[in-house]
A and B are shown apart, each in its own frame.
Chain A
Amino acid sequence: MTKEPKPNDTLLLEMRQIDKSFPGVHALKNVSMKLNRGEVLGLVGENGAGKSTLIKVLGGAHPPDAGKILIEGRLAHIPSPTAAQQAGVSIIYQEFNLIPDLTVTENIFLGREKTRMGLVRASEEHQKTLQLFKKIGISINPNARCNELTVAQQQTAEIAKALSVNAKIIVMDEPTATLTTQETERLFAIVRDLKSHGLGIIYISHRLDEIFEVADRAMVLRDGEHVGTEDTNNITREKLIEMMVGRPVESEFPKRTASPGLERLRVEDLCRGKAVRNVSFSAQAGEVLGFAGLVGAGRTETMRLIFGADRPDKGRIFIDGKQTNIRSPCDAIRNRICLLTEDRKGQGLVLIHSCRENFGLPNLDRFIRGLFLDQRKERKEFSGFVESLKIKTSSHEQLTMNLSGGNQQKVVLAKWLARNADIMIFDEPTRGIDVGTKYEIYLLMNRLADEGKTIIMISSELPEILGLSDRIIVMHEGRVKGEITDVANTTQEDILSMAIA
């Protein structure tokens, strides 16, 4: 199945028969893996397959119930993230561990400040940071505060931080989820560079193109089990997907026949600071309207104005031809608009509350009976969605923080579907979500459009935009750069050239 075992000195990391259970979930079942020096190992699998758990075991966040970790042939005891760092393991999580108010340099040296007589030697740190940046060819101002950086820049800062502690093994969890195509290319260059220096890299991604481009081998997990590890040169994309989902998959995007109806939403001259400048567009009933553009092009900001999450400086919003004043999300919901935010954990869910409570939150007005909540009705309705969306939870009362990304997104979907809004805005609906669930979400969006709803979808994945939209609006630096009506004859390059220039 795998390659010939290499001589032991090239073997960097070995995880032997790792087993881990959480209450109600057997997350890892006797999973073993090997990582060589100078190798990129792609780790793939659907949400909840156990990728994150495996990485957290390696990173010291979860102690395994059974199994061993060997680094360079020696047994490694990793009870905490600090121990992992000392053992040479650096993990770059999806949610960055940078402190927003500190500068890049301060973050890189956080906890290991260069000091003399108790005082921080800022200039030395600055120099070291510059050297490091030069080595991996990035150009960020080391004195910039992290909250001023783009997502891509934050990520490179994280990589620099990992390198600065002499990591031997770097784990990247969905590193490209929020990157543009160019930024992704730059990241791959860095990864290849790290590889040539003899580091071992574990690369987790749902984007299989990337796995094939950057990884040497791909390791597939499904339901906590190790399904197999394959040389990326010897396996096809279809075969890999089949291993992940456990059944053959025909197409990545469902077929779509557009039948737009009347104009439902019209936005005129919407402005807010520099983020949104004179944005005008309209969306019809029964249409999927895609919003393309680089990260920071003002797409999310525009949608937040429509949803009342922020107040516009000026501009008008018409719903069904009538000018509507939307001053808060409450107003928007009353006008049958809903927004599924890109940041599920920060804005979509109350993580410390249960699935049912999160589901109920925007729907409580419908569950009122007299003075009180009819919790039986709430449970019953949620059960329906658990079934139809195939949400994997141990119970309705499971905390949403304990769900996998895909299931979290499904809870968010459920809470808004129950609202039965006419205008549904999806902001990066499939970010960090596995192939199987992605397809389910695509089908759902299609169905909603067929039912006559207006679907607005922001996505940074061009194939997704092209595969799903009836019409595409491209934004750049807060402005609408152009509109594409003939989606079938448009290529990724066409959109990209509009989005960049």
Chain B
Amino acid sequence: MDRNRSRREILKTAGALAGCGALLRLSIRPAAATPEMMKDAVRAVIGEAPVKKGKVKLDLPPLVENGNSVSCTVSVESPMTADDYVKAIHVFNEKNPQPNVISVKLGPRAGRASFSTRIRLADSQTVTAIAELSDGSFWSDDIDVIVTLAACIEESMH
């Protein structure tokens, strides 16, 4: 299917060829993920490349008001020129049932390597953002967040 092909294209662009085994494993999911699964998911996307801390700024509130919707911004220092730009930004988590959060493909036309979205966080955990630059290097940032449960809820409406 077209969409599966384009997903593989994104993974290949990021340099991961050995992802197949890890991808298969990712589909059999227990109730909660582990830091090990996050490492596997990262490896599936970026391969064995070394990841350096820096250039990336992951913005998340340290104390989350509600884990169902957490504002998340990732920015990467880059001139975003044809010769020096951010190719992709990936966000991972370690305690949700699934380790991937979002993968963004960028290019020089972006002008600024930054995007915002809202994510779900199932529990207090570390969230990691990894950027792939046009020179093939990988950079990251991570944040520890605390997620608490809401006090006043209802029986399921669904």
A, B: real partners: no
Interface residues in chain B, defined as those with a beta carbon under 8 Å from any beta carbon in chain A: none
